Chains A and B, each alone.
Chain A
């Protein structure tokens, strides 16, 4: 039976920055705290990490009229429809779920890190663990969209806890309709407001209404799946794997990733959130 596609709709203009979404995620997913150094703002982490799957970013932005806007964005995995991480994963650990979202199968993940290298949003990270003998190994980690909750008919933990309804979860069709409606309501206050659901990655399952241009939030204007990622998955990887076996593949892969994969649509945006202190 075909399932509908589901989307987490984030209306950043309704967010008041309480960060319940960050801790709801830790609480549901039993993730440890990983305190970071002082960021110079209220923001706790520079970016999402392997154990911090969503981060609320705090941005002080002076708009065209010279007025100060204090902008917040719940940032987490976009769950792309054409996900680079799924494309490059040599073990099919990264996969699409029945809800259209992207998840990691930890049993399959060998910690090669291709997904980390190729994510146009810098979302996927490797977590380090130790086995019984004290040997370290890595696994890719990121927001699962609480797929275990979805399976039980429950919404993601971050959405459930959001007290301003800045986040909602529902069918793609319904959420996109809501986003359109909301955009109309806020245009007067935020003339640069837009829906962020980039085509270059086939659309996403975390869809935003942003108050300002993507660059203000440090987001790529037009992210896409790197061409090299397509090449790797479709050609190089099957051959290499045959020759080397999985573990050495990881090493080679990391090398190849670093050298060859240009994270297109990303580098030039790095300074996009410049107004953020």
Chain B
């Protein structure tokens, strides 16, 4: 989230698209309803009328997989009707930048596309620069090659009629959404976009989010209280585990992991290649070296490149889909599962289950016996005698049986005290990791192989017994001065000479000498509901990101009722209700004084994004499996996605599978259900796997409510109850009826509440940038079970 949960109360309009917060983030509605009490509007855009829709002022249906069309139409509407925030767009975004000649867009393809590699040469997607390397601008936004004019042209194709024939949204409802949300383009008004996996789990997931960001920049909604682009994250610490680099491509703090490339062969080369000359990321070497000092301690010296060479360097995509593909092919030998259950949660889960039997060993650390830990059992449909995988199931402590912090969607790092000893023989994950590492280090201690050298260099100093000292870990994350051992005050103090360490620079500041700030419990509102003395928010305890943009170029808030920070001319600094997400002493008239987006190279918001794999502007493509042709171009699906071969990625035809399907969650269960299906009360609330469908489709198929039905896709089938509902309506797409069904993906065969696993149906195909699987739009068919 650019903003945070309490801040939702300040919104004039919340556009909820690709999310169902009333069911999946219920307490968000505490603040959304407060916004409504103050006159704010709530808009719900969803294929299905949900519990969120029940609380919305306007509900607009759309077909799964048509978000870019929906939002593209709103961008067009805002431009055509002059509803955008002109000064904000001209000053705070790259809309005024001039794109080089040679940039082009034709029939769904941007310039530079190579069909053989399914990739773009992005050279033509760049800006004209002045002699000193700064981008050429036209703040009148009139230059024909300005980003603004190119964007205007691109989205002029997204007129209301075309858009609604693609999305299936009734025109009247579409217009209501467009009018209501675009009214926040008026300076001083704020609209927020709330999204979740309904947005990201598409082959165009990244561009879906991009389209929201563009619309929000256009309307001047980023940096504003009650504004922003807000990802409602689904796990208590998925924010933290992302921040801490539990994804192959990033080291902690979003420091790109070095790759097996000549440009990354040395630390100096890597830093040279990956450090921008301008913007806050120009400090990257300080963060990288401080991380290396945290990981390799005294072993990391200037002479040995701070042990940079021991960081593993990959040469491919190692994300979830690729990982299971490799496992299926027998390329992996062992795997660890830390509280994760891919046999229920993974795409094409039936095949992912099969893949597991190719492992020699599997270690599952969990509170429960999950479907994944027991994939070899007869109940899983396996023949145990034919599976040679050794499985180790280690009982883990629950969240309140240990101490530690988690980071919520609003980036608040909150401490959890230990309430009780772990149940049975369960142990905290930290303890398990530590005990394993102590054993491994012991085994390698006297060896000199390359594998041993890398291991021996790693600094693991959390106490000389099996119980690690939590406080030492916390201190290392914040970072300290390697000479004195004193905590660094914050990441502004980090250095690239080895004099500081910090395990995650973006968190640096949570644990200064005075103590661990994540434990703070002062709940006095310090202004605008930002609660600056409650816990700690990264970075630097800032609560609303890009908050410099809540003030006009001169430093005055666009709206005094929505004031976050402002320039105090007498004191010569930025002040207000939040920690400035800006250098506090840079005056509006100083160089860079009107550049609110400090993390970008040019200090402005990117309407034009020349770094993404699938184009600088979001463009509508149909999902990998779609019942209709693409109305915008002859490119059927995203031309830059990797199409995996083999029987792991079977594709269904619209003839065989004419119905659009999507998956989702319910309030009462969580993710793959292992946490909630193993509890009686929650299992009682939502005890059955079901398929939601419209009355019209049910009639067509001769299905009655509560019947058992079978849903099939090219990957598999599931049996479940039919939930025939008025809340699903068939879409009219280009004059034709297209049916859509939906189902929860929480179920499996373990626990109190059991049912078939929806992900046996979902495809093994991912987004062009993130490789997030396309769970949210695929093709299926449905019939009565008997």
Contact = CB atoms under 8 A, between A and B. Distances in A.
Indicate if A touches B (C-beta under 8 A): yes
Interface string B279-323: 000000000000000000000000000000000000000000000
Interface residues of A, number: 32
Contacts of A116: none
A16 B26 contact: yes
B683 A35 contact: yes
Contacts of A52: 684
Given A18-B667, A70-B49, A163 B682 contact: no
B172 to A, nearest CB: 12
B758 to A, nearest CB: 16
A105 interface: no
B698 to A, nearest CB: 10
A138 interface: no
B54 A70 contact: yes
Interface centre among B49, B51, B53 (most CB of A within 10 A): B51
A41 interface: yes
A17 B706 CA distance: 21
Given A32-B680, A33-B680, A38-B706, A164 B30 contact: yes
Contacts of B686: 42, 44
A26 B23 CA distance: 20
Contacts of B706: 38, 40
A19 interface: yes
Contact of A16 (B29, B668, B687, B724): B29
Contacts of A69: 54
Given A19-B668, A19-B685, A70 B30 contact: no
A38 B687 CA distance: 8
B725 A34 contact: no
A33 B726 CA distance: 29
A33 B683 contact: yes
Interface in B664-711: 666-668, 680-688, 690, 705-706
Given A17-B22, A38-B706, A23 B681 contact: yes
Contact of B33 (A14, A34, A38, A60): A14
A97 interface: no
Say what secondary structure dominates the interface of chain B.
mixed
B550 interface: no
Contacts of A27: 681
A119 B50 CA distance: 34
A20 B53 CA distance: 19
Contacts of B33: 14, 164-165
A39 to B, nearest CB: 8
A62 B687 contact: no
B50 to A, nearest CB: 8
A68 B726 contact: yes
Contacts of B667: 17-19
Interface string B31-56: 00100000000000000011111110
B22 A277 contact: no
A17 B50 CA distance: 10
A72 interface: yes
Nearest to B667: A18
A163 B685 contact: no
Contacts of A38: 687-688, 690, 706, 721
B95 interface: no
A163 B26 contact: yes
B691 to A, nearest CB: 11
A60 B684 contact: no
B681 A60 contact: no
Nearest to B729: A68
A40 B680 contact: no
B402 to A, nearest CB: 22
Interface string B48-74: 011111110000000000000000000
Nearest to A275: B726
Nearest to A61: B726
B682 A70 contact: no
Contact of B53 (A70, A72, A163): A70
B683 A42 contact: no
Contacts of B687: 35-36, 38, 44
B782 interface: no
Given A16-B54, A23-B682, A40-B705, A35 B723 contact: no
A62 B22 contact: no
A22 interface: yes
A17 B55 CA distance: 10
Given A42-B666, A70-B54, A277-B705, A163 B683 contact: no
A9 B30 CA distance: 17
B693 to A, nearest CB: 11
A270 to B, nearest CB: 19
Contacts of A42: 666, 686, 723
B727 interface: yes
A40 B726 CA distance: 12
B752 interface: yes
A128 B457 CA distance: 66
A93 B723 CA distance: 42
A23 B52 CA distance: 20
A26 B682 CA distance: 11
A62 B680 contact: no
B684 A72 contact: no
A40 B724 CA distance: 7
Contacts of B684: 33-35, 44, 52
Contacts of A14: 33
Nearest to A17: B51
B27 interface: yes
A60 B725 contact: yes
Contacts of A72: 51, 54
Contacts of B26: 16, 18, 20, 163
A20 B51 CA distance: 14
Nearest to B706: A40
Interface in A6-60: 14, 16-20, 22-23, 26-27, 32-36, 38, 40-42, 44, 52, 60
A62 B727 CA distance: 10
Contacts of A18: 22-23, 26, 51, 667
Contacts of B23: 17-18
B54 A22 contact: no
Contacts of A35: 683-684, 687, 752-753
A145 to B, nearest CB: 20
Nearest to A13: B55
Nearest to A60: B726
B727 A68 contact: yes
Nearest to A14: B33
B685 A16 contact: no
Nearest to A52: B684
A33 B29 contact: no
B726 A163 contact: no
Contacts of B680: 32-33
B534 to A, nearest CB: 18
A60 B727 contact: yes
Interface centre among A17, A26, A165 (most CB of B within 10 A): A17
Given A16-B22, A40-B705, A23 B27 contact: no
Interface centre among A14, A36, A72, A164 (most CB of B within 10 A): A164
Contacts of A62: 726
Interface string B390-428: 000000000000000000000000000000000000000
B685 A44 contact: yes
A52 B724 CA distance: 26
A193 to B, nearest CB: 15
Contacts of B50: 70
17 contacts: A17-B667, A18-B22, A19-B668, A23-B685, A26-B681, A33-B681, A40-B705, A40-B706, A42-B666, A42-B686, A44-B685, A44-B686, A44-B687, A60-B727, A164-B33, A277-B705, A277-B723
Given A17-B51, A35-B683, A70-B51, 4 more contacts: A16-B51, A70-B53, A163-B29, A165-B30
State the 10 A-B residue pairs at the shortest beta-carbon distance, nearest first. A33-B680, A33-B684, A70-B54, A16-B22, A38-B688, A18-B26, A17-B51, A40-B705, A40-B706, A60-B726
